[in-house]
Structure 1
Amino acid sequence: MKPTTPSSILSRILDTIERVGNKLPDPAILFLLLMLIVWFCSLALSFVSYGEIDPRTGEAIAINNLLTSQQLTDWLTSMVTTFTSFAPLGVVLVAMLGVGVAERSGYINAALKAMLKVTPASLITPVVALIGITSSVATDAGYVVVIPLAGAIYYAVGRHPIAGITTAFAGVSGGFCANFIPSGLDPLLQSFTQSAAQLVDPAMQINPLNNWFFTTASCIPIMLIIWFITDKVVEPRLNANSPLDTDIDADNQLQHTSSKETRAFRIASLTMLIGLAGLIFWAADPQSTLRGADGSLTSFSAPLMQMIVPLIFIFFIIPGVIFGYLSGNYQNSNDVVKSMSQSMETMGHYIVMAFFCSLFIAAFANSNIGVLMAVKGANALQALGLSGGGTVVGMVALVVVINLFVGSSSAKWALISPVLVPMLMQLNMSPDLVQAAYRVGDSSSNIITPLMPYFPLVVAYCQKYYKGTGIGTLIATMLPYSIALVIFWTVFLLGYWALGLPLGLGASYHYG
């Protein structure tokens, strides 16, 4: 009998979690089932009287029966508009049109390679981690470019290549919700948060960059944590337990950027910087049309804030097109359209999920069940007498557990935001703080989630250097990062909150 070790126990536990998780239905079907559950719960609960007061109306909460003839008629007649007006749908699709061109033209690859090539050997780990963190602005680019390149870089300088892969993976996925640069994730999460908050306050408006200051401040500390774990914990263990295979065929991808592509990258980047300077100049004018009626650039009503997603589209598609033509990767306009089409092809599953998600969110809101759960949940939390910090810690822990079964960040937030946001608003916590706590729990546990779509891909990257790498091996390797991130990042959020520092544009810590 083989001796029982912590790694073998961990591997068996996580294999069980994987088997259980694989039995869960696809998120699209999960939303459909949840909608049906809401329907039948609304029927049963509509016959019950409640003493709780609806915070929106000041009257006793009443559950609407969604299975009446009138409600079913309204559901069928509004189905199309419920889907097309689903806020995250337009946000994601518009952003991905621009990012898809930048990615498939080769511009994003060239940018990441340029940053990695100029890295001093002594700073490889922190720079790889930081590039991984910031790569989330380009959605999947970090998984398909930064992670394998990091392995090649470490191998080229004589370090364990799997340490490079895990460092990049910790940055790309573990630091997914931290970034210096606003990305499509910001307005995506904000749209779910706003919809959930409006269950309590229909007039609630949340800025798309409501967590930007916190996520920006998180980048350097997270990078330092990853740096320490890689150099002091993970790489020594890899050197002892995961010897490199003797038949490694490692492509030196850093030499693949031609002089033509380098020139194209410089011109495309200069164009983007000129455009950014022009935007700043436009916004700096006190009479700028980018400002709101009160002259503010950061209020929700300011046109600049309503341009976040279109700006993401523009600032990716223009340099992407320029790079594509100058490098020869694009021959004509058909290639640009093809890149957009390919980008949309990858969004097919998301569109299906968004359809059922929109119907579930609408049913949940119309039933008033969310308001009832929020008020009852808030009363229960208040009865427990937990401190504000304890509530934040509990929420982070809850998200970590859910993340083991539902890998999609947007799907998880769509599922739990209608409950958590209104509930914690009843405890005087703002939706901005609740969303920040969600981001901490979501990012920290991404790297130990076998159901995360890119997890098997990272295993394959590792097997290029050590064929004995399996899911359990990668989980055991990534676990120190996950534990360190969830503990440190939660403490960091609590400290940030205690100091009263602003979470983002227009954000607050307290509701009301």
Structure 2
Amino acid sequence: MMSNETQAPGLLGRALDGIERVGNKLPDPAMLFLILLFSVWGLSALLSGMSFDAIDPRTDAPIEVTNLLSAEALTHFLTTMVSTFTAFAPLGVVLVAMLGVGVAEHSGYINTALKQMLKVTPAKLLTPAVVLVGIISHTATDAGYVVVIPLAGVIFFTVGRHPLAGIAAAFAGVSGGFCANFIPSGIDPLLQSFTQSAAQIVDPTIQVNPLNNWFFAASSCIPITLLIWYLTDKVLEPRLNRTHKVNREAVDIPVMEQTTVAEMKAFRIASLVMLVAILGFFSLTISESSTLRDANGSLTSFSAPLMKSIVPLIFIFFMLPGLVYGYLTKTFTNSSDVVQAMSKSMSGMAHYIVMAFFCAQFVAAFSASNLGALIAVEGAGALKAMNLSAEITIVGMILLVGFVNLFVGSSSAKWALIGPVLVPMLMQLNISPDLSQAAYRVGDSSSNIITPLMPYFPLVVVYCQRYVKGIGIGTLISMMLPFSLALISIWSAWLLLYWSLGIPLGLGASYTY
């Protein structure tokens, strides 16, 4: 009998191979965003003279497509090109975090930390451990994209497994499971604010609890982790071993040899320094008058200074142990060695910076054109017009959100657009705003991992290219498509099961209105 690594691909494998071949014929991601930018310009000019019945819930006025080829729009594009690039949020997140991670990596601290982690993590539980860490990383906003995903590749590579399987498992946890978490995070009050305002269109007195989906989000970690675990170990990794073999000698990752006494001592001291720094910092948050809290005293809202400091904290809390470990082990002998470590981490980001430039221009143009708003509102209106049963409507809503997510990446932007249409509509079917929001979370997460328009998608392509040269968009889409389809199916079923059993969705939540 053939092993999983060598057996011929089945129907699913052939389909994914085909998707990969077609996808990899697409231009480089940077050029793809440039082509999409030109396409948005042309489409905006074509549709700008047309009238649409769709009402923008943000302005209560009919949606109008803006002509981006007008003289005024082109002038605005030229004058804001630089600021659009420098203000592109994912760019700063990635580069600042990677400066600190680079010091920790090139000092040898991360290498030693991984060795210690692998000692206590059973080999059979490596995949679910990576997935769970990815899910929990949502608490720290975008930390998972710049820390968890690349480290997962290193971990799998170190233990002799396919590194792209580790990257895919982490990506599925971080992005595919975006709206699941044991720990409440900033996404909870953000979505709640839009849900409440949408519900008050029908009932001005209604109040929605910020943790109205907490129990459902926490319980979702179980099926999501099991699902990603199975797909990674039984479906994806055997396929990768067949189609994308890794030349281990060509990968620039230090071989994990036995930890020396000196390295272990340096690791303990460096870790203690990091722990003291973390505890010292968070002691500053205890006081109700802490400057790290928002105006309402919250630490977890998106407006809280603590949440806005996550990326600088990643930089500091990786930098500190890296410096201590590097100087104690003589990896760093002077400040030039530290700067060189930062430079090495930045050199690996060169391709991403180029992609980020074109991605930033496209995202800004797509938003300014109002095409995303038109797609979202028209889609919500079409679902409303179908007049389906409550259960089928919920599933239809999940599929709609998953589709719209391919074009409009921002979770809050999508909910601001379609929430005012769907929440009141479902309230007329006696479906509570809490259940509508839970359905939205499922659809919003499931298709994150298959859309190249998601700002961090090109970054994950770069992570993969570290191990297998020539990997493109098609490869990553073919890797993640089974996860996306399975997530939207199983997670939808989990929500329907939750609903049928009447298990509370969260604090102060209900299923019926």
Q: TM-score, normalised by structure 2?
A: 0.68
Q: How does 1:186-225 map to 2 (within 5 A)?
A: 221-225=223-227
Q: Tell me which moved more, 6-15 or 97-106.
A: 6-15
Report how far residue 22 of structure 1 moved.
1.4
* Cα deviation digits, residues 115-160 of structure 1 (max 9, x gap): 21134xxx43124530465375624543542112333xxxxxxxxx
- Tell me which amino acid in the other structure corresponds to 2:155: V
CA–CA distance in structure 1, aligned partners of residues 28 and 284 of structure 2 = 45
CA–CA distance in structure 1, aligned partners of residues 221 and 104 of structure 2 = 24
Q: How does 1:299-314 map to 2 (within 5 A)?
A: 299-314=301-316
Unaligned runs of 5+ in 1: 152-160, 202-208, 243-247, 403-411, 461-470
1:150 matches 2:149: no
Alignment partner, residue 87 of structure 1:
89
Q: How does 1:45-444 map to 2 (within 5 A)?
A: 45-119=47-121, 123-127=122-126, 129-131=128-130, 133-134=132-133, 136=144, 138-151=147-160, 168=166, 171-177=169-175, 221-225=223-227, 255-384=257-386, 385=388, 386-393=392-399, 395-396=401-402, 414=409, 422-423=417-418, 426-428=421-423, 434=440, 437-442=443-448
- Tell me which amino acid in the other structure corresponds to 2:18: T
Report how far residue 7 of structure 1 moved.
3.2
Report how far residue 417 of structure 1 moved.
9.0
* Cα deviation digits, residues 434-486 of structure 1 (max 9, x gap): 5664434445999xx9x9566687789xxxxxxxxxx99xx99x999887666
CA–CA distance in structure 2, aligned partners of residues 484 and 392 of structure 1 = 13
CA–CA distance in structure 2, aligned partners of residues 483 and 90 of structure 1 = 31
CA–CA distance in structure 1, aligned partners of residues 218 and 107 of structure 2 = 28
User: Do the aligned residues in 2 keep the contact of 1:62 with 1:368 (CA within 8 Å)?
Assistant: yes
User: Do the aligned residues in 2 keep the contact of 1:396 with 1:437 (CA within 8 Å)?
Assistant: yes
User: Do the aligned residues in 1 keep the contact of 2:52 with 2:64 (CA within 8 Å)?
Assistant: yes
Check 1:354–1:46 CA distance in 2 against 1; reply closer, same or farther (3 A cut). Answer: same
CA–CA distance in structure 2, aligned partners of residues 422 and 68 of structure 1 = 26
Q: Tell me which moved more, 216-225 or 255-264.
A: 216-225
CA–CA distance in structure 2, aligned partners of residues 336 and 387 of structure 1 = 56
- Tell me which amino acid in the other structure corresponds to 1:364: F
Report how far residue 179 of structure 1 moved.
9.0
* Cα deviation digits, residues 17-46 of structure 1 (max 9, x gap): 222111111222222112212212222212
User: Do the aligned residues in 2 keep the contact of 1:176 with 1:443 (CA within 8 Å)?
Assistant: no
- Tell me which amino acid in the other structure corresponds to 1:134: V
Report how far residue 413 of structure 1 moved.
6.6
User: Do the aligned residues in 2 keep the contact of 1:42 with 1:65 (CA within 8 Å)?
Assistant: yes
The SS at the match of 1:321 is helix
What is the number of residues matched between the two proteins? 434
CA–CA distance in structure 1, aligned partners of residues 291 and 90 of structure 2 = 26
CA–CA distance in structure 2, aligned partners of residues 434 and 210 of structure 1 = 13
Question: What do you get for the CA RMSD once the two structures are aligned?
Answer: 4.9
User: Do the aligned residues in 1 keep the contact of 2:165 with 2:232 (CA within 8 Å)?
Assistant: yes
Alignment partner, residue 201 of structure 2:
none
Check 1:7–1:483 CA distance in 2 against 1; reply closer, same or farther (3 A cut). Answer: farther
Report how far residue 325 of structure 1 moved.
1.6
Report how far residue 493 of structure 1 moved.
5.9
User: Do the aligned residues in 2 keep the contact of 1:34 with 1:360 (CA within 8 Å)?
Assistant: yes
CA–CA distance in structure 2, aligned partners of residues 51 and 226 of structure 1 = 41
CA–CA distance in structure 1, aligned partners of residues 481 and 359 of structure 2 = 31
Alignment partner, residue 33 of structure 1:
35
Check 1:70–1:335 CA distance in 2 against 1; reply closer, same or farther (3 A cut). Answer: same
- Tell me which amino acid in the other structure corresponds to 1:150: V
- Tell me which amino acid in the other structure corresponds to 2:60: G
User: Do the aligned residues in 1 keep the contact of 2:439 with 2:495 (CA within 8 Å)?
Assistant: no
Check 1:279–1:76 CA distance in 2 against 1; reply closer, same or farther (3 A cut). Answer: same
Report how far residue 414 of structure 1 moved.
4.7
Q: TM-score, normalised by structure 1?
A: 0.68
Report how far residue 266 of structure 1 moved.
0.9
Q: Tell me which moved more, 102-111 or 170-179.
A: 170-179
Report how far residue 210 of structure 1 moved.
13
Alignment partner, residue 155 of structure 1:
none
User: Do the aligned residues in 1 keep the contact of 2:274 with 2:321 (CA within 8 Å)?
Assistant: yes
User: Do the aligned residues in 2 keep the contact of 1:432 with 1:509 (CA within 8 Å)?
Assistant: no
User: Do the aligned residues in 2 keep the contact of 1:134 with 1:181 (CA within 8 Å)?
Assistant: no
The SS at the match of 1:98 is helix
Report how far residue 374 of structure 1 moved.
2.1
Check 1:141–1:509 CA distance in 2 against 1; reply closer, same or farther (3 A cut). Answer: farther
The SS at the match of 2:62 is coil
User: Do the aligned residues in 2 keep the contact of 1:357 with 1:414 (CA within 8 Å)?
Assistant: no
CA–CA distance in structure 2, aligned partners of residues 437 and 310 of structure 1 = 31
Q: Tell me which moved more, 273-282 or 173-182.
A: 173-182
CA–CA distance in structure 2, aligned partners of residues 377 and 294 of structure 1 = 36
CA–CA distance in structure 1, aligned partners of residues 129 and 411 of structure 2 = 30
- Tell me which amino acid in the other structure corresponds to 2:363: I
Unaligned runs of 5+ in 2: 1-6, 135-143, 199-210, 243-247, 424-432
CA–CA distance in structure 2, aligned partners of residues 30 and 213 of structure 1 = 40
CA–CA distance in structure 1, aligned partners of residues 63 and 178 of structure 2 = 40
Q: Tell me which moved more, 412-421 or 353-362.
A: 412-421
Report how far residue 391 of structure 1 moved.
2.3
Check 1:41–1:279 CA distance in 2 against 1; reply closer, same or farther (3 A cut). Answer: same
Check 1:176–1:300 CA distance in 2 against 1; reply closer, same or farther (3 A cut). Answer: closer
Alignment partner, residue 409 of structure 1:
none
- Tell me which amino acid in the other structure corresponds to 2:397: T
Report how far residue 300 of structure 1 moved.
2.8
Check 1:363–1:305 CA distance in 2 against 1; reply closer, same or farther (3 A cut). Answer: same
CA–CA distance in structure 2, aligned partners of residues 42 and 480 of structure 1 = 33
